[in-house]
Structure formats: C-alpha cells, structure tokens
C-alpha cells in the first residue's frame, strides 16, 4: 500500500474540519474516499468531492472502500464504532475522548490489543503544539527538577445556552456522559497526564448546571495529589467570562508558566530543597533567571496528527498519540466527577465498573428533556487554540 484510503464517520463540526484539510491536500499519501453521517444533509456539501457517502458508520466500515477511519461521532459511539472498525481489519483514528467512560475505553483498548496489526490512534492534537512539546522537554531534561505543584485554571471555555441547545447529545448523561470535563477539558487532561503522569488521588468539586440549563457539570474545582506528594488544582468552567487560561508547573529547580500565549521559565540557580538545607540565613531565596521561551502555534495540529496516523500505517512510524493512552484523560475526567458525586477523595486507578454503575444510575434517573434549536453558523475552529 502506498496511499491510505480514509473514511470519516460523523460529519458534524470536527468531521467537516478533518474533511476540509484532507481535501485541501494537507495530509500526503492519504485520500478521503468515504464519509458517513446519520443525517444525509451533513454529507451534501461533499457531493462530487468525496466518492462514497453512507448514512451508517458500520456500512462505511464494511464497504471495502477504506483502509482507515476517523471516528468523529458523539462519544458513546467511539467505543462501538471503534470496536467494529478494528474487528473489520480497519485502522482507527478515534476523536477525543476515546470513549465516554473508563470501562468503555477498556473494552475498546482490549479490542485494539486483539488486533495488533492495525494502527489505533487518538486525536489529541495538543501533543504536537510546540508550547507543550517545549514544556515536556523541560521536564524530561530535568530543567524543572522534581515537580512539586501543578495548577491549571482554564475557565475561559465560555459557552452560551445556544451552544448547549445545538446538539441533542450534548451535556446529557445519556448522550455525552458528562460536561466540561469530558468535552472541553479533555485535551488539557491529556496534557496534564502527558506532562506529569497520573495523580494518585483526586478530590473533585463539580457543580451541575450551575450556569446553564443542563444536567451535567459546567463548573469544577479539583484537587490532585501525585505519589511523590506533588499537588495540583485544576479549575474549569463554561459559564465564566472572561475567564482565564493559566498553566503553571513548579519544580524544585524553577517554574514554568503558560498564559496569554506566552511561555515563561523562571529558573532557580540552585535546587530549592538543597538551598533551604544549606543556606545559613533565614530569609534568603535562590537567585533566578527569567527566560521567555519562544514558540509558534502549530498551523494545523489536526492535520499534523493525521499525517502521523498515515505514516504509522504506511511506514510503521511510532504514533504521537496511541489510542490506548486516551484512557488516562477519560479516567481523570471521570474521577473528578465521581469524587464530587461521592463527596470524597478517590484513589487511582479508579474502579471503572463502579463509575459505570454510577453513570448508568444518573442516566436512569435523568428527567431532563432537551430542546434542540438551530444555531447560527459560525467559525467552530476559533474554539481550538488552548
Ligand atoms: N479534537 C478536537 O479538536 C475536537 C473538536 C471538536 C469535537 N471533537 C470530538 O469529536 C466528536 C464530535 O464532536 P462534534 O462537535 O463534531 O459533534 P457534532 O454533533 O457536530 O457532530 C457529530 C456528528 O456525528 C453524526 N453521527 C452520530 N452518530 C453517527 C453514526 N452512528 N454514524 C455516522 N454519523 C453519526 C451526527 O449526525 C453528527 O453530524 C466528539 O466526540 C468531540 O469530543 C474533537
């Protein structure tokens, strides 16, 4: 094979975005051969541009028209369609989150394990953004020393009532399995674990429908603790304006802050623990050097990750975002909510069956009826760059 024939399942906001850069030739050795959506009108603008159209994702998978698929449907179908594709011998790029909850992610990953010849990737495009790649290198090179604190306040995910009314599946236990955590914050949660590993315990405080007429969480504050005693706070909201996006990691050798598209490294000349032990005066502090770390934002991070998926299929290059790694961001989203619902700290790894049971109870008890309305067309890509 010298070219990957790709299909997209789910032609909503992100499915169209993938289709548009693929049709513009932004991914080499890849041809968009098929698209699918349960609503035929979502396919219309691709008449004459994409050869095969299907109204059922499973039909596309079985069509023999594709070598790989991108699954861009609501979250719960990521698991069922992902399993169907892997079992049919098709390579899979699944949108984030890889599943709606941890137990489903385990099912999907187990199927991937049974089909090791197929490439199974996750669309975690922040992993190719130079600002995060640089933070990761600082950590891996030991420039920060041992990490002691991680704080991320990302409260600028403002969404209106019209946004929540725009899709029947959004912000419901049954359709989405959660709110701001599983949807908007999933990329930040992937970054959190990609940069610093998984915490050992979490205590979440989530407010359900605080700002919007929804049944799931739209405002959260969570405390995290790692095995080495590092601590962190993760804050998010879709109801607060203007909101903030400030990511700060402190280590024994200094701290890095990402805010307002600026990355600053304040480096301690001496390790703070060593300095504290050896200094002979009480109010001394390590001297610091302050460095602004330059970076450019990736011009099309989704296309870069898609190219990596294609190169993995054709050349066997390692994946930047292997699908199974997607379980960590789901577990974080789930455990923050679960801890809040239980009113207690939860140790990780979280019991996925217990969480699934809780989620099913919420689905069963839901009396929420959603009124879906048509919203004005707007540029969805402006929500990307965090
Ligand atoms: N990586 C990113 O930057 C990014 C950005 C936005 C959304 N997403 C993820 O992509 C997914 C879709 O989000 P969206 O905003 O595009 O939602 P959306 O509601 O705009 O689109 C989903 C589409 O899937 C279709 N669909 C549902 N079930 C289907 C099936 N069985 N077969 C074929 N089509 C089906 C729906 O009709 C709809 O058109 C979500 O999981 C979301 O988290 C990722």
Q: For residue 68, give the CATH number of its domain.
A: 3.40.50.720
- At 63-85, the pLDDT tens digits run 999 999 999 999 999 999 999 99
CA 271/CA 311 separation, integer angstroms: 42
pLDDT of amino acid 35: 98
Could you tell me the distance, in angstroms and rounded to a whole number, from the CA of residue 75 to the centre of ligand 1?
A: 8
Could you tell me the distance, in angstroms and rounded to a whole number, from the CA of residue 171 to the centre of ligand 1?
A: 13
Nearest to 96 by CA among 122, 132, 70: 122
Residue 14 Cβ inside 6 Å of ligand 1? The answer reads yes
- At 120-177, the pLDDT tens digits run 999 999 999 999 999 999 999 999 999 999 999 999 999 999 999 887 888 999 999 9
Same domain, 163 and 99: no
Could you tell me the distance, in angstroms and rounded to a whole number, from the CA of residue 265 to the centre of ligand 1?
A: 37
Mutate which of 36, 45, 74 for ligand 1 pocket (most atoms within 8 A of beta carbon): 74
Same domain, 319 and 345: no
| pLDDT value at 372 more than 80 | no
Same domain, 310 and 361: no
DSSP helix/strand/coil, 212:
coil
CA 311/CA 302 separation, integer angstroms: 14
Residue 15 Cβ inside 6 Å of ligand 1? The answer reads yes
- In this prediction, residue 33 has a pLDDT band, given cuts at 50, 70 and 90, of very high
Residue 77 Cβ inside 6 Å of ligand 1? The answer reads yes
- In this prediction, residue 379 has a pLDDT band, given cuts at 50, 70 and 90, of low
Residue 190 Cβ inside 6 Å of ligand 1? The answer reads no
Two tokens, residue 261: 């598209």
Say how many domains are in the chain.
2
Question: Does the residue 98 lie in any domain?
Answer: yes
pTM to 2 decimals?
A: 0.96
| pLDDT value at 377 more than 70 | no
Same domain, 210 and 235: yes
∠ CA 216-218-219, rounded to 5°: 125
**In contact, 251 and 144? CB cutoff 8 Å:** yes
Two tokens, residue 10: 């789910």
Same domain, 136 and 93: no
Nearest to 344 by CA among 217, 205, 220, 251: 205
The domain containing residue 372 runs over which residues? Answer: 130-296+329-381
Q: For residue 136, give the CATH number of its domain.
A: 3.30.360.10
């Amino acid at each position: 094979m010298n070219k990957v024939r790709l299909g997209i399942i789910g032609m909503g906001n992100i499915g169209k975005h993938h289709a548009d850069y693929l049709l513009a030739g932004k991914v080499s050795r890849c041809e968009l051969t098929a698209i699918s959506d349960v609503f035929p009108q979502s396919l219309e603008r691709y008449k004459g541009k994409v050869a095969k159209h299907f109204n059922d994702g499973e039909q596309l998978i079985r069509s023999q028209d594709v070598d790989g698929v991108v699954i861009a449907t609501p979250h719960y179908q990521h698991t069922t369609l992902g399993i169907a594709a892997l079992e049919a011998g098709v390579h899979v790029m699944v949108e984030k989150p890889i599943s709606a909850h941890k137990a489903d992610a385990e099912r999907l990953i187990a199927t991937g394990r049974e089909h090791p010849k197929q490439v199974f990737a996750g669309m975690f495009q922040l992993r190719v953004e130079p600002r995060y790649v640089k933070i990761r290198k600082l950590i891996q090179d030991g420039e920060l020393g041992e990490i002691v604190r991680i704080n991320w306040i990302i409260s600028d995910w403002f969404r209106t009532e019209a946004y929540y009314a725009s899709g029947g599946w959004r912000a419901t236990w049954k359709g989405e399995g959660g709110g701001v955590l599983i949807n908007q914050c999933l990329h930040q949660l992937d970054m959190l674990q990609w940069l610093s590993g998984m915490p050992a315990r979490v205590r979440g405080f989530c407010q359900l429908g605080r700002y919007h007429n929804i049944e799931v969480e739209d405002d959260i504050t969570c405390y995290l603790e790692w095995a080495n005693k590092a601590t962190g706070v993760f804050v998010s909201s879709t109801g607060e304006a203007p909101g903030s996006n400030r990511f700060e990691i402190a280590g024994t050798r200094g701290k890095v802050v990402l805010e307002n598209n600026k990355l600053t490294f304040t480096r301690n000349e001496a390790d703070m623990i060593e300095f504290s032990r050896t200094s002979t005066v009480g109010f001394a502090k390590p001297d610091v050097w302050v460095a602004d770390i330059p970076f450019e934002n990736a011009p099309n991070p989704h296309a870069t990750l898609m190219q990596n998926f294609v190169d993995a299929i054709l050349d066997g290059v390692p994946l930047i975002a292997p699908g199974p790694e997607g379980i960590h961001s789901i577990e974080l989203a789930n455990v923050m909510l679960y801890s809040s619902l239980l009113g207690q700290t939860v140790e990780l790894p979280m019991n996925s069956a217990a969480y699934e049971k809780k989620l099913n109870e919420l689905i069963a008890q839901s009396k929420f009826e959603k009124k879906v309305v048509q919203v004005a067309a707007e540029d969805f890509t402006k929500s990307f760059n965090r």
